[in-house]
Homo-oligomer: A and B are copies of this chain.
Amino acid sequence: MDKILSGKVVSLNLIGKLKKKILKLKCEGVIPAAAFIRIGSHRDDMAYQNSILRTCNDVGVTTVLHELSDHTTSEELIELITKLNEDETIHGIMIFRPLPEEMDEEMINNTISPDKDVEGMNPINQAKVFAGNYQGFAPCTAAAVMEILKYYNISLKGKHAVILGRSMVVGKPLSMMLLKEDETVTLCHSKTEHIDEMARTADVLVAAMGRPNAVGADYIKPGAIVIDVGINVDQSGKIHGDVNFDEVVDLASRITPVPGGVGSVTTAILIKNIVKAARNFKCNKESAIACLLI
C-alpha cells in the first residue's frame, strides 16, 4: 500500500484515459474545445493558465484564449459568455479567478450555460452536487479529491470524514460528494471551537482552509488518511500545503503531498469535464436529429 497518495500518478492515469476518449470523439466528428477567459494579467494566473493550455493541447483539446483588459465590465464579460454559450464549436467555458472585485460574480456564474460550465460554478450544477446527482459538473478541486480516493480504492462507507474549510469550490461540494459515497461528514471552519479535537475524530481529514502548515500532529488520529488541498505560495515562491507534512506523515496511514497531490489532479479533472461536455453536446445533437427524423 502506498503511503503517499501521488496526485501525479492519478493525473497521468486519468489523462491517459481521456486521450482515448478524445480520439474517439474526434473519430466521431467532435473536436473537444474550451474557451478560457482571463481578465487582467497577474503573474500567478499566467503560470497556471499556461500550464492548463499546454496540457489541453497535449491531449488534443482545442483551446481559445480570451484575454480581457483590467477595465472589462461585468456586462462586457456577460456578452462574451453569451456568445460562447451559443458557439457550437465551444464545449466548455473557464474563467480564471479571482475576478476583479467590482464584477458581479453571481450574475456571471448564472450566465455560463450549465452545459458548458466545466468548473461547476453555475447554480444548476451546484444544485446537482447538493442533491448528489453526478450528471452535472462539480468544482474541479473537490472532484480531484474524489478522483484520488477512487484511484487508490479508498472506500470509507460509514466512516467519518472531517473537512476543514467550507468554501463553495472545495469544502461544501466535497461534503456532498463524500456523503453520496455514504461517508459521515463534518464541516469545520474558522469559527469551529476546538478544531484540533474535531479533526482528531476523522478517519479521513481534508484540509482546505488556505492556511500554510496549519494542520499539525495534534489534528491527526493515528492511522487517519490526510488529504491536503492547500496551495499557499510564500514570498520566495515556494508552495506549502495546509498540512505540516513532516509533522503528520508518521501518524497518517496515507497522505497527499504538496506539491504533487490534489493540485496535480485539478487540471486533469477540468479536461475530464470538457470531454464530458463535448460528449453531452454530441449526444444532445444526435437526439435532436433523431427527433427531427421521427
Q: What is A's interface to B at a CB cutoff of 8 Å?
A: 123-124, 126-131, 157-160, 166, 168, 172, 175-176, 179, 182, 184-189, 191-193, 198, 201
Complex-state Cα separation, A22 to B176, whole angstroms: 38
Q: Out of B123, B130, B166, which one reaches A179, CB within 8 Å?
A: B166
**22 A-B residue pairings within 8 Å (CB atoms):** A123-B124, A123-B127, A124-B124, A126-B127, A126-B131, A129-B130, A130-B168, A158-B191, A158-B192, A159-B193, A160-B193, A166-B179, A172-B179, A175-B175, A175-B187, A179-B189, A182-B189, A184-B186, A184-B187, A184-B188, A184-B193, A186-B186
Cα A131 to Cα B124 in complex, Å, equals 12
Alpha-carbon separation in the docked complex, A172 to B179 (Å): 10
Secondary structure class of chain A's binding surface, majority of residues: mixed
Is there an interface contact between B127 and A158, defined as CB atoms closer than 8 Å?
Answer: no
**Quick one: copies of this chain in the complex?**
2
Assess the B176–A172 pair: CB atoms within 8 A: yes
The list of the 7 closest CB pairs from A to B, nearest first, reads A123-B127, A182-B191, A186-B186, A158-B193, A127-B127, A184-B192, A130-B130
Are A186 and B185 also in contact (CB < 8 A) when A160-B198, A179-B166 are? yes
Q: Taking the nearest CB of chain B, how far is it from the CB of A150, in angstroms?
A: 18
**Additional A-B contact list (6), CB under 8 Å, known A124-B127, A130-B130, A185-B186:** A124-B124, A126-B131, A184-B192, A185-B187, A186-B186, A201-B201
In the bound assembly, the distance between CA atoms of A179 and B184 in angstroms comes to 16
Contact A157 to B123, CB < 8 A, known contacts A131-B168, A166-B179, A168-B131: no
Task: Give the Cβ gap from A53 to chain B, nearest Cβ, in Å.
Answer: 30
In the complex, A130→B124 CA distance in Å? 11
Please give the distance in Å from A179's CB to the nearest CB on chain B: 6
Q: Which residues of B contact A198 (CB under 8 A)?
A: 160, 184
Nearest chain-B residue to A182 (Cβ)? B191
A30–B193 CA distance with the chains assembled, in angstroms: 46
Residues of B within 8 A of A186 (CB): 184-187
Query: What residues of B have a CB within 8 angstroms of the CB of A158 in the complex?
Result: 191-193
User: Roughly how many angstroms separate A157 CA and B193 CA in the complex, as a whole number?
Assistant: 9
Q: In the docked arrangement, what's the CA distance between A35 and B179, Å?
A: 35
CB-defined contacts of A176 to chain B, threshold 8 Å? 172
Which residue of chain B is the closest to A176 with respect to CB atoms? B172
List, in ascending order, chain B residues with CB within 8 A of A191's CB: 157-158, 182, 184
Nearest residue (CB) in B for A166 is B179
Taking the closest CB of chain B, its distance from the CB of A207, in whole angstroms, is 15
Residues of B within 8 Å of A201, CB to CB, are 201
Find chain B residues with CB under 8 A from A192 CB: 158, 184
Question: Smallest Cβ distance from A106 to chain B, in angstroms?
Answer: 8
Residues of chain B with a CB closer than 8 A to A159's CB: 193
The CA-CA distance from A187 to B181 in the complex, in Å, is 13
